[in-house]
Amino acid sequence: MTERHLGLFRNVPAARPGLCRVCHSAPAEPHAPACLCAGCHRATAGVHRHTPHVLPVSLCARTGDDRRLYDLVTRRRSPPGELTGAALLAATVARFHRAHLPCLTRPAGGPFTLVATVPGAGAERPVEAFDLMPRVVQWVTGLRDLHRPVLMPGGDRAAEEALARHVPDEWAFQVLGRLDGERVLLLDELFASGARVQSAASVLYRAGAEAVVALVVARLVDPWADTRVADAWARPYDFGRCCLCDPAARLSSDAGRALLG
C-alpha cells in the first residue's frame, strides 16, 4: 500500500553535525551550543525534560505542489482511491516500524514497554471529534499490544492555546497513573515546532517514564531553507533508510553514545 503512495513521502536527511540533533530535519541554529534547530530550541527550553530522540518518517511541506502528506496527516484531503487516511497512515507506521525497530529501540535503552499517542489538543491540526493515531495504532502489529491511552488532554485552555502558538506547555496534557520504569514509544502524526511532542514527553517523564522516543509521521519543514534538507527532499523516498541508519549519518559524540548504548 505504501509502495503505491511512495510519492507522498520525502527523505529525512542523514543525521549529521550542523543539522538539529533532536529532529535531524532542520539546520541547527548558528552559534547555538546545543545543536538544535529553532523549533526544537524553543520546544525543549520550555519543558521540565525533553526527549532528545525524535525520528521522523518523512518530511512534509505546507505550501507548493508537495503538500499531499501534510494534507493527509491534517486530514484535509483523502488519498486517492478507496483508502482512508487512517489506513494509509497505519501502513506507513507499520512499514517504518518494521524496518527501523533497532533505530527506535537503541536510544530507548531496550525494547519498548508502552506505546502512547499524543491526544488532539492545540491547533496544529483541525479540530476533530476523535484522534486518528489511536485508531492507526490498532492496525499495527507490534504496537497494538503495547498501546495504552495514558496520555490525556490536560483540560487547560491557556496551555492548549500556548501549543497552538508553538509554545510548549506541559499543562496541555496529563498522564493517567504512574509510568515508573516504562520505555515509551510516543507516536504523533505531525511534528511542526515540537512543542506538542516535547510537552507530552515531559509529562511522561514526570510520571516516571525511563525513556521516551518519539516517532512522528511527518516533520513539517521548509525544504528550501537548507541544501542538505533540499537534497534529501529531491531524492526518491527510501523506506529502507532513516536519518539514523543512512550510511551518510554521522552522529555527534553525545548522540552516538546514546544510540550505541
Nearer to Zn ion, 175 or 190 (CB): 190
Min dist. Cβ of residue 194 to Zn ion (A): 6
Nearer to Zn ion, 155 or 256 (CB): 256
Q: Which residues from 103-142 bind Zn ion, rule CB under 5 A?
A: 103
Closest CA to 217 of 239, 247, 201: 239
For residue 242, state whether it binds Zn ion (rule: CB under 5 A). Answer: yes
Cell numbers for 149, please give them: 491511552
# chain residues binding Zn ion, by CB under 5 A: 10
CA distance 24 to 103: 13
Q: Which stretch binds Zn ion (CB under 5 A): 5-13, 63-71, 195-203, 234-242?
A: 234-242
Contact of 97 with 104, CB cutoff 8 Å = yes
Min dist. Cβ of residue 37 to Zn ion (A): 3
Nearer to Zn ion, 58 or 179 (CB): 58
Cell numbers for 9, please give them: 513521502
For residue 243, state whether it binds Zn ion (rule: CB under 5 A). Answer: no
Q: Which stretch binds Zn ion (CB under 5 A): 98-106, 120-128, 132-140, 248-256?
A: 98-106
Of the residues 8, 14, 15, 40, which one makes contact with Zn ion according to CB under 5 A: 40
Of the residues 12, 14, 35, 37, which one makes contact with Zn ion according to CB under 5 A: 37
Cell numbers for 199, please give them: 510537552
CA distance 118 to 124: 12
Secondary-structure breakdown of the chain: helix, strand, coil percentages, each rounded to the nearest 5: 35, 15, 50
Nearer to Zn ion, 105 or 174 (CB): 105
Residue by residue, DSSP assigns 185-203 as EEEEEEESSSHHHHHHHHH
Nearer to Zn ion, 151 or 197 (CB): 197
Contact of 117 with 212, CB cutoff 8 Å = no
For residue 245, state whether it binds Zn ion (rule: CB under 5 A). Answer: yes
How many residues make up the chain in this entry? 261
For residue 251, state whether it binds Zn ion (rule: CB under 5 A). Answer: no
As beta bridge partners, residue 183 has 211
> Site map for Zn ion, 13-32, x if CB under 5 A?
-------x-xx---------
Write down the residue that cell numbers 496529563 correspond to.
174
Contact of 194 with 25, CB cutoff 8 Å = no
Min dist. Cβ of residue 78 to Zn ion (A): 29
Q: Write out the residues near Zn ion by the rule CB under 5 A.
A: 20, 22-23, 37, 40, 100, 103, 242, 244-245
